[in-house]
């Protein structure tokens, strides 16, 4: 990208001082606009592993994002999928348990798995020998990474499939308390990311209304974000034709045609979120060039206005390209979940001084 193009990428509406989200973010101590490293710097390293989180931290992301589940022996871990087939070598280690859910495995069993080699096979252009044999992390190990660098990012924690882990919200509260994340933490050095020191050091996120209620009950002072989706069990859709029955070949095209049933339905969700303590929403978003993260467009201007009018911040997921950062920012986004923290930091005019390669090597990868 030329210098001129790079300067233009930081569009005026993105950084306008009168942006409605900016004041909301300041009120609750959340950085604006926010760079949320989705599963860590997961474009460049295997998701939710040490190199992914260490890289996101060192690049300068505001938040390390993670999905929380619980092992059979009660340990909170960071893992997105509810089964292990996509991101581990379970087929070799426990071939008869490939489809078993996470809560049937102990931490010791999960630690036997290689959570890095799948990435090398899926992304040979970004593969590294050092990714072979990476481990699934406990939430405490993610906290250790967040603490270990000069930058002090916050944690953006999702309760994943919480109905499968009764009491996970209370477990999370206990662990955050034990590790000092519910009180003020030491400040970072001047010029470094200092989110962990601020009231917005933790953001709790969930797709599930009952989980939001439990999080609000156990940690009323911590900002919360309700994640949004259109379809079964979530916001009612205008059409109930499934992808399978739609005859459409690619999912991004199908999702792009999915609409919330009505403005009243969207408004009811915003009102519910506000009434139950949410400080923001995490909407799905549609992307110009499609792809497997391109879903229904829940960042329409009337939607962002409705959210901002109710005092809710807007952090769309999961956005990696400048063209989408630019468009969705214009419509009111207050930051993004991104797999490509380096890209988003550059877009916001705060690029990392060091390259991805340098930072990975510095951390031993």
Nearer to ligand G3P, 251 or 354 (CB): 251
Active-site choice (19, 38, 287, 308):
38
| Closer Cβ to Ca ion, 229 or 306, answer by number | 229
Say how far apart CA 81 and CA 41 lie, in whole Å: 17
> How far, in Å, CA of 1 to CA of 325, rounded?
15
Nearer to ligand G3P, 43 or 317 (CB): 317
Look at phi and psi of residue 332 and say left if phi exceeds 0, alpha if psi is from -120 to 50, else beta.
left
Check residue 321 for interaction with Ca ion (CB under 5 A): no
- Complete DSSP assignment for 337-363: EES-HHHHHHHTT---SS-HHHHHHHT
Rounded CA-CA distance 287/283 in Å is 13
Q: Quick one: which of 113, 145, 176, 227 contacts ligand G3P (CB under 6 A)?
A: 227
32 binds, among Ca ion, ligand G3P, none (CB under 5 to 8 A by kind): none
- Known active-site residue 308: no
- Give the shortest CB-155-to-ligand G3P separation in angstroms: 12
Q: Tell me the three state secondary structure of residue 171.
A: helix
Residue 316 CB, nearest distance to Ca ion (Å)?
Answer: 13
User: Measured between alpha carbons, how far is residue 339 from residues 11, 48, 225 in Å?
Assistant: 21, 11, 19
User: Contact at 8 Å (CB) between 337 and 36?
Assistant: yes
Q: Does 229 bind ligand G3P (CB under 6 A)?
A: no
Q: Is 47 in the site for ligand G3P (CB under 6 A)?
A: no
CB contact at 8 A, 68 and 141: no
Task: Output the CA torsion 174→180→183→185 (10° steps).
Answer: -160
**Residue 337 binds ligand G3P, judged by CB under 6 A:** yes
Return d(Cα 176, Cα 168) in angstroms, integer: 12
Within 46-85, the residues that bind Ca ion by CB under 5 A are 67
Of positions 20, 277, 282, 283, contacts ligand G3P by CB under 6 A: 282
- What span, in angstroms and rounded, lies between the C-alpha atoms of 289 and 273? 31
Note if 276 is an active site residue. no
Residue 67 interacts with ligand G3P (CB under 6 A)?
yes
> Which x/- pattern, by CB under 5 A, does the window 136-165 give for Ca ion?
----------------------x-------
Contact between 211 and ligand G3P per CB under 6 A? no
Residues near ligand G3P (CB under 6 A): 38, 67, 80, 158, 205, 227, 282, 317-318, 337
Residues near Ca ion (CB under 5 A): 67, 158
Q: Which residues are designated catalytic?
A: 38, 80
């Amino acid at each position: 990208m030329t210098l001129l193009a790079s300067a233009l990428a930081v569009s005026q509406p993105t950084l306008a001082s009168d942006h409605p989200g900016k004041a909301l973010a300041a009120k609750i101590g959340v950085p604006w606009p926010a760079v949320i490293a989705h599963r860590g710097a997961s474009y460049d390293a295997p998701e939710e592993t040490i190199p992914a989180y260490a890289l996101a931290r060192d690049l300068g992301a505001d938040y390390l994002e993670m999905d929380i589940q619980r092992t059979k022996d009660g340990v909170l871990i960071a893992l997105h999928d509810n089964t292990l087939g996509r991101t581990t070598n379970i087929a070799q280690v426990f071939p008869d348990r490939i489809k078993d859910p996470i809560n049937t495995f102990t931490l010791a069993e999960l630690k036997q798995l290689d959570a890095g080699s799948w990435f090398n096979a899926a992304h040979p252009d970004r593969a590294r020998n050092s990714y072979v044999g990476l481990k699934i992390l406990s939430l405490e190990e993610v906290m250790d990474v967040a603490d270990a660098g000069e930058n002090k990012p916050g944690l953006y924690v999702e309760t994943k499939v919480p109905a499968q882990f009764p009491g996970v919200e209370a477990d999370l509260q206990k662990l955050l308390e034990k590790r000092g994340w519910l009180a003020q933490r030491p400040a970072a050095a001047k010029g470094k990311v200092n989110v962990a020191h601020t009231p917005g050091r933790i953001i709790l996120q969930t797709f599930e209304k009952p989980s939001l209620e439990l999080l609000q009950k156990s940690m009323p002072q911590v900002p919360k974000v309700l994640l949004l989706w259109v379809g079964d069990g979530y916001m009612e859709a205008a059409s109930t034709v499934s992808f399978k029955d739609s005859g459409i070949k690619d999912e991004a095209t199908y999702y792009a045609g999915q609409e919330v049933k009505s403005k009243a339905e969207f408004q009811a969700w915003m009102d519910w979120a506000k009434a139950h303590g949410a400080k923001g929403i995490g909407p799905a978003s549609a992307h110009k060039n499609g792809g497997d993260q391109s879903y229904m467009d829940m960042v329409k201007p009337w939607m962002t206005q409705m959210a901002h009018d109710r005092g809710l911040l807007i952090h769309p997921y999961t956005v990696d390209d400048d063209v989408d950062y630019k468009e969705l920012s214009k419509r009111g986004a207050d930051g993004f979940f991104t797999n490509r923290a380096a890209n988003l930091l550059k877009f916001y005019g705060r690029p990392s001084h060091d390259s991805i390669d340098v930072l990975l090597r510095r951390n031993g990868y």
